Structure 1
């Protein structure tokens, strides 16, 4: 697939979806202000939380009928309701299958660096220190960082500036409810340095209780996209300010994935962008720190979820790359825990992702039950009873 087609596929996120995660202590109900003695597993939802008996809205639309990009679902232990964020809106459900109509939770304020007309990508809502924080990637195409020296792929000696670059980055807004309205904390710039084109920022809280934003540094700017992290600034009460603190740290680059060229023909005339998308975390009971992230393989013809592992168990790594987890043009996965039931008193860990990335079909959410294996987290089965899609045969490792 050509880069031009790629740009008109993955990067036209007109219908971006939230990833919404509440960080809880593994095995202990809690919130994201975990201290050094509490191990967070970075899965959305509180272990053992109960679902609500009813919704304050009519759940008239099934998940299979909702067009969505970058899905994530937050099981809120306060209300007992699942929240699904999409663009600047949210939907609610109590069974993961039937959902209410979307309601607006965020409006870009006057004076913001971002242009509301240029889209909202991959929003999240995290519960941290007693508040809900909305993370989303905003843009301003009128604030140019660099202009490409030539058009098209066969650019010759065009250096690092091979695509037009503009302001793009994740912001943080705050509210007292998962329904918002969320208020932008920093109107002047995104969290990461404004000279960096970044996206898909997600909250990570380390074992010492320090909050970080982990994000993708765009292949559009880097060619070999990276995953990076920046500490988040807090005020005297421990609340996030919407600003980064200090310089970002580098975790790994897209081309580190050993499977990049597998089963694909290399086009010598095409500059290969190494895409990095959607980082999310899981810490196992054996204290292994895992990161699921998304890229393209087969020389940019197939969107896949893959797995990285920190050999130190620390965010700073070093990180080693493992095999793909889900293939067949499906990706941007995130994790959450279902509400408890009689069969699963602690809830079930689930992965959500979107399908049909490079296809002509409408993108929808797929849901997978996950199982911890001691050192890893693997796919147990697809919940086609909830997502309504045909079962995927491209889940690894195969039984």
Structure 2
């Protein structure tokens, strides 16, 4: 059994499975986030968010798998009775992209689902998340990376119902520099987008959490859709939601009630660890109440 502080993980994603009252924790391995060949993705399992069993292998790539570096930001969503892992991968001679994997169980094993990344093959992309629109159609929302375009973007693209491939062209929801709290990471024209995640508030507002860099380092902000759906337009909060040396968060509801935010903090190797905060849903926005673990 491990506590969160014992788990060297970036980009934590927690999937609660109500039917068996278990939480599943996925993320980027801190040891191989930047260097070395990753072994795949692991999962940790808990029934109270405090003590975690694992790690258990969730995805182990076949020798022929195309990517050999930067296995980043896995997140798992249930869709039509199956579990789908969206994760980012990179190789020396191919652009980083988000690929979708599938399993019949939240713990895996996850297997390759389509034919490589669903994000554009000539774009440097990362941090894909799943969004289902008002009509019930699936989209992938992802970051078009600053390493290619300088001012990072949050983009969206329709998927086929089986989540195997794109079903349309990408659209840009907003740029990193659109947010007043974001600061450049290099010079005066390089801005980062990271870790998008959607949440519908208690009053029906569609909110998008995402990460970048602010006055106090790695941080997380909130954008709000003015039309309540993915195409927006999107407006940015003036101040970051989490402002100091932490981010790449998501939201889930605990079994005993309450809205929870896992993030990694600090944003510095090898010190990064998952932390969970309690969050208040204020309708048009969110507020962090307290640290849980």
TM-score w.r.t. the length of structure 1 is 0.67
Partner of residue 163, structure 1: none
Which of 51, 67, 87 is residue 98 of structure 1 equivalent to? 51
Partner of residue 250, structure 1: 172
Matched, 1:307 2:222: yes
For residues 34-85 of structure 1, the C-alpha deviation after alignment (integer angstroms, 9 at most, x for no partner) is xxxxxxxxxxxxxxxxxxxxxxxxxx21112211100111111232111011
Could you tell me which runs of 5 or more consecutive residues in structure 2 were left unpaired when the two chains were aligned.
29-40
Partner of residue 4, structure 2: 63
What is the rounded CA distance, in whole Å, between the counterparts of 1:361 and 1:140 in structure 2? 23
Matched, 1:86 2:13: no
1:377, distance to aligned residue in structure 2 (A): 2.1
Could you tell me which runs of 5 or more consecutive residues in structure 1 were left unpaired when the two chains were aligned.
1-59, 144-166, 341-346, 388-399
Partner of residue 283, structure 1: 200
Which of 178, 190, 213 is residue 140 of structure 2 equivalent to? 213
Partner of residue 15, structure 2: 74
What is the rounded CA distance, in whole Å, between the counterparts of 2:283 and 2:110 in structure 1? 38
Q: Which has the higher strand share?
A: 2
**Structure 1 residues 361-370 or 306-315, which shifts more?**
361-370
1:302, distance to aligned residue in structure 2 (A): 0.6
Partner of residue 292, structure 1: 209
What is the rounded CA distance, in whole Å, between the counterparts of 1:172 and 1:186 in structure 2? 7
Q: What is the SS of the residue equivalent to 2:99?
A: strand
Which of 216, 237, 262 is residue 352 of structure 1 equivalent to? 262
For residues 200-236 of structure 1, the C-alpha deviation after alignment (integer angstroms, 9 at most, x for no partner) is 00011111101111101100001000000111112xx
TM-score w.r.t. the length of structure 2 is 0.91
Superposition pairs of residues 151-190 of structure 1, within 5 angstroms: 167-187=95-115, 189-190=116-117
1:271, distance to aligned residue in structure 2 (A): 5.2
- In the alignment, is the contact (CA less than 8 A) between 2:214 and 2:243 conserved in 1? no
Structure 1 stretches of 4+ moved >4 Å: none
**Structure 1 residues 90-99 or 278-287, which shifts more?**
278-287
What is the rounded CA distance, in whole Å, between the counterparts of 1:273 and 1:172 in structure 2? 29
Partner of residue 163, structure 2: 240
What is the rounded CA distance, in whole Å, between the counterparts of 2:149 and 2:135 in structure 1? 31
- In the alignment, is the contact (CA less than 8 A) between 2:204 and 2:283 conserved in 1? no
CA RMSD in angstroms comes to 1.8
- In the alignment, is the contact (CA less than 8 A) between 1:109 and 1:184 conserved in 2? no
Partner of residue 119, structure 1: 70
Query: Would you say how many aligned residue pairs link Structure 1 and Structure 2?
Result: 280
What is the rounded CA distance, in whole Å, between the counterparts of 2:224 and 2:98 in structure 1? 24
Partner of residue 6, structure 1: none
- Name which one, 1 or 2, has greater alpha-carbon Rg: 1
Which of 262, 281, 284 is residue 372 of structure 1 equivalent to? 281
What is the rounded CA distance, in whole Å, between the counterparts of 1:321 and 1:86 in structure 2? 26
